[in-house]
Structure 1
Amino acid sequence: MAVGAALALNNILLDLCITGTAEVNQPVRHYFDVGVFGYGACLTNPGEGVESAFGGALAGRGLVPLPELADNPLTVREEPSVDRMAASSMIPIWVEPVHGYRTPMCEAIAVVGDHVLDWAQKHRDSFPPIVINITDGMVTDSPYRGARLEEWVQRLTSIRTNDGPALFFNVFLSPAHAPEVLFPARAAGLPEPGPLLFGLSSELPAPMLENARADGVDVRPGARGLAFNVGRSTLLRVLQIGTRVPGRPY
């Protein structure tokens, strides 16, 4: 699962770089600031914790301007297609798969929240920050620093720009074969930890509802930013829907 998630992340980072390129052979524009954080096993300080997943020239960085991201992949190598149908291709690699230890989700939200708060204070007129949490396990550190997971998420989503609150979406990668659930409008019928993640997930704002419908997803009023039991191709689809905000300045 870590390999599939890393492949989807590298594909969406490449998509963002392409989105930021107005014309062929022109520099990537600063449309986004992007961060990727891993929680569980760490490489910089071996053991369990939370750290930036970027390596190489971007090692240890939190949020990185899109042009700088485009200029500093770890490597370029041949990777299989995410949908497993098309031939493999050469793509830039920014994130390598890492797995192990437990799931310190509260600590991860606390760390990311610090970066989100700093960004929001500097970009008051931008679309609010989008945080997508990809996990394959139950939270293992609630409470953390005296606050439970729900409180950490509430703190995160209380951070605002002039356009609204930060958005918190969740993607659960199940180790078992189970039906995929995409952007549900209610928690009924979801196995654990589905109801918890549903309650934590933000409602999809109007532009993302339009993205989902344009992508052929049947979304109902009140749909939440939750994808449950998804595979790697659906994961990429979710990331694309969750990061396309048409016609907005950054």
Structure 2
Amino acid sequence: MYQELLSSANPGLIIIMIDQSGSMSDFYANSSKAKFASVAVNKVIEEIILSCSSGDGIKDRCYVAVIGYGSNVDILFLETASELAKNPNTTTVKRKISDGAGGLIEVDEVQRVFVNPIANGGTPMAEAFQQASNGIEKFITNHPNGFPPIVINITDGEPNNMALATNEAKKLAQLKTSDGNVIILNAHISNASAGKIELPSNDSAFSSNQFAKFLFDISSVLPDPLIESAKNTGFNVQTGAKGFVFNADAETLIKLLNFGSQGALR
């Protein structure tokens, strides 16, 4: 299980769900949660394109979709890597690099823009999971034997209806290809440095926190390819670890996005 390699003939699917509720306007990582999450997702999509590049061309080993949920639940796009690479929208971001003498300098980096920051409304997470299920069912019908789709959910707060969100996530997790069940990863982002949880294998450290338990319960146990990818990204991963981080700072969010998206593209 979870052994199929992605190819143009047998592509994978990565769905990123982004909380776009009003609280995503809160300060985070010298910006807002909405701004940082969009920049991080844009960067990860760029990395996916690079991973699918070969010579002067791009092999469509992967489809990428983004679902935003706040005042509305919208599928922002579903595209192949080659179509995403045609995106003409760009912005300039600051990045620190080594100056060659032990210090850092700040440089401008041009980055494609696939997702813009939005922060408005409530947190209809259940409806977002339902949209993901609908898309994955169609994808699996056309690609029944590939590496299972991966869903990465970024949120900063509780869903409008936790019971309904649990049911929809559980339904989603039951969808599968011949290579395994859909993989669900959850990242709760917060400025609270205390109580950070990274890829736990049980809920003993947060059993009294209803929201943390909810996200833990709906997260998938990491299969071997994602465990290796998580280790390569810098996580300390134990047997039976689930794809779940809580009170994640900016670095942890980026690490989860990286290993979650690159695990299938090995």
TM-score normalised to the size of structure 2?
A: 0.79
1:211 is displaced (CA, Å) by 1.3
Where structure 2 has 5 or more consecutive residues not aligned to the other structure, the ranges are: 1-32, 98-103
- Tell me whether 1:8 sits opposite 2:28 in the alignment: no
Q: Which moved more, 1:187-196 or 1:239-248?
A: 239-248
Alignment partners' CA distance in 1, 2:122 and 2:140:
30
Structure in which a larger fraction of residues adopt strand = 2
Equivalenced residue count is 225
Alignment partners' CA distance in 2, 1:69 and 1:88:
22
Kindly indicate whether the alpha-carbon contact (under 8 Å) linking 1:180 and 1:230 is maintained by their aligned counterparts in 2. yes
For residue 62 of structure 2, the aligned residue among 32, 35, 38 is 32
Equivalent position of 1:174 in the other structure: 190
Kindly indicate whether the alpha-carbon contact (under 8 Å) linking 1:168 and 1:201 is maintained by their aligned counterparts in 2. yes
Aligned CA distance change for structure 1 residues 17 and 151 (closer, same or farther; 3 Å) = same
Kindly indicate whether the alpha-carbon contact (under 8 Å) linking 1:107 and 1:141 is maintained by their aligned counterparts in 2. no
For residue 183 of structure 1, the aligned residue among 183, 199, 203 is 199
1:134 is displaced (CA, Å) by 0.5
Instruction: Report Cα offsets for 1:12-47 as digits up to 9, x if no partner.
Output: 000001111112xx122101000001000xxxxxxx
Alignment partners' CA distance in 2, 1:133 and 1:161:
20
Equivalent position of 1:45 in the other structure: none
Alignment partners' CA distance in 2, 1:164 and 1:76:
36
Kindly indicate whether the alpha-carbon contact (under 8 Å) linking 2:34 and 2:119 is maintained by their aligned counterparts in 1. yes
Equivalent position of 1:235 in the other structure: 253
SS in 2 for 1:113: helix
For residue 135 of structure 1, the aligned residue among 155, 174, 178 is 155
Instruction: Report Cα offsets for 1:34-64 as digits up to 9, x if no partner.
Output: 0001000xxxxxxx220023xxxxxxx4x21
Counterpart AA for 2:109: S
Kindly indicate whether the alpha-carbon contact (under 8 Å) linking 1:158 and 1:165 is maintained by their aligned counterparts in 2. yes
Alignment partners' CA distance in 1, 2:44 and 2:237:
22
Structure having greater relative contact order (Cα 8 Å, sep ≥ 6): 2
Aligned CA distance change for structure 1 residues 14 and 82 (closer, same or farther; 3 Å) = farther
Alignment partners' CA distance in 2, 1:82 and 1:192:
38
SS in 2 for 1:193: helix
Aligned CA distance change for structure 1 residues 37 and 158 (closer, same or farther; 3 Å) = same
Identity %: 29
Aligned CA distance change for structure 1 residues 244 and 64 (closer, same or farther; 3 Å) = same
For residue 160 of structure 1, the aligned residue among 150, 158, 176 is 176
1:88 is displaced (CA, Å) by 3.6
Instruction: Report Cα offsets for 1:75-114 as digits up to 9, x if no partner.
Output: 112113399x763411111111101211000011011110
Equivalent position of 1:17 in the other structure: 49
For residue 72 of structure 1, the aligned residue among 87, 90, 95 is 87
SS in 1 for 2:116: coil
Aligned CA distance change for structure 1 residues 247 and 105 (closer, same or farther; 3 Å) = closer
Please, what is the CA RMSD of the aligned residues? 1.9
Kindly indicate whether the alpha-carbon contact (under 8 Å) linking 1:173 and 1:229 is maintained by their aligned counterparts in 2. yes
1:181 is displaced (CA, Å) by 1.9
Kindly indicate whether the alpha-carbon contact (under 8 Å) linking 1:172 and 1:228 is maintained by their aligned counterparts in 2. yes
Aligned CA distance change for structure 1 residues 80 and 230 (closer, same or farther; 3 Å) = farther
Q: Which moved more, 1:197-206 or 1:208-217?
A: 208-217
Counterpart AA for 1:176: A
Alignment partners' CA distance in 2, 1:66 and 1:171:
24
TM-score normalised to the size of structure 1?
A: 0.84
1:243 is displaced (CA, Å) by 1.4
SS in 1 for 2:57: coil
Alignment partners' CA distance in 2, 1:237 and 1:111:
25
For residue 123 of structure 1, the aligned residue among 127, 130, 143 is 143
